[in-house]
Amino acid sequence: MAVTDTEEDYLLPCGRGVERVWERLDVVENGNGDAHETSCPHCRTARESLLGLRSATQELIDEPDPVPPDLFGRIMSAVRAELRRGATLELVTPHPGVVSVSEQAAAVVLRFAADSVPGVRARRCRMQVVGTGPDGESIVHINMTIAVRVDSAGVPGLVPQVRERVTAAASARTGLLVGRLDIAIVDVYQEGGR
């Protein structure tokens, strides 16, 4: 059973939706794209990513042997990879100078921390910088969605574990301070069924 995401289409910086780029993938590849599609660097980057995803998916369909154990991970990495770098967060380091990291990279670290809880798979992680800590570190509000395994006996106990691990990873791995962490269970899955 999957819960449908009701958010609108992801918009590229040029204003086009990723769904539209996906729907017109073959049209543009056959040389019949409109002027915007053929010249826009954002649409071109999205198209290249979607072609890679389609290729990986086709490889899965065409594979006569058992699925390679890393194929799902490769597909999920492609899906999770944002089509743009996004905003950056300034990190505090013991070295002089400012180190910035994209919100996308920080979100990957936090999703990985959530995935480390048995019976949990992170879905979406969004951050918003809301201030600066005493040592100059960014304070963020995090909105995370997760899926839980159907047979997880302690579903109510999973969210506190996710909260603990994500908060620890934010501090230890990225140098961010968590101001607020909202976690929503939006999907369930069965073991073996990804």
On whether residue 6 sits in a domain, the answer given is no
Q: Give the global pTM.
A: 0.54
Regarding whether 184 and 108 lie in a shared domain, the answer is yes
On whether residue 4 sits in a domain, the answer given is no
Residues 36-53 have a mean pLDDT of 86
Instruction: Tell me the DSSP string of 88-122.
Output: EEEE--SSSS-EEEEHHHHHHHHHHHHHTSTTEEE
Residues 149-178 have a mean pLDDT of 85
User: Which of 29, 47, 80 is the C-terminal boundary of a domain?
Assistant: 80
In which domain, by residue range, is 136 found? 88-189
Regarding whether 157 and 98 lie in a shared domain, the answer is yes
User: What is the tally of structural domains in the chain?
Assistant: 2
Q: Is 154 strand, coil or helix?
A: coil
Q: What are 7's two structure tokens?
A: 């958010």
Is the pLDDT assigned to residue 97 strictly greater than 70? Answer: no
